Structure 1
């Protein structure tokens, strides 16, 4: 596990930049939903909730708390992102595809936190 964990150690170095980029993508998606459907649309509201959840990400990851809370936070964020991506398909297939990088990142981050959890003494 130690070698796999060291293989994934690059995640710590790029996490901040990746989350800023993903947040900007989400803001762009929210803007498009707002233009097409308005702010009272359920997809817009779910997107705002997800943006807040992603913004709070450092508070529930393993950097500020234990890995058990981090893995739960990652899984919840991943599930909500997938649900949001599915909901976006009814508005625009293209908007839905903009969520793919976030799903991929959350999947990788969840594996990383899971390995850290397994590797604990």
Structure 2
């Protein structure tokens, strides 16, 4: 069975990460789908660290749905054809964290 890896944008494009964060050494094997970075797209490249609570507002959630919709359609089609879907996020990210994220209303 073929696995499609769905990855957070900054894992393949470190220029979208916060300025003070080091790039992550990540070299996945294709096939893969690179998601767009919702924080870079909505807050810009010169953003500061934020928490999930700070960005959990209707306009940000709407933006995230809009940029993910086309990816979701493609992922659904791959899944229906029997592909295994693997998602790789960024630990601690308020948008792309899988097992953990930041929370609260101060800092990020």
Query: What is the TM-score of this pair, normalised by structure 1?
Result: 0.32
Q: Which has the higher helix share?
A: 1
Structure with higher Rg: it is 1
Greater relative CO, 1 or 2 (CA 8 Å, sep 6+): 2
Query: What is the TM-score of this pair, normalised by structure 2?
Result: 0.34
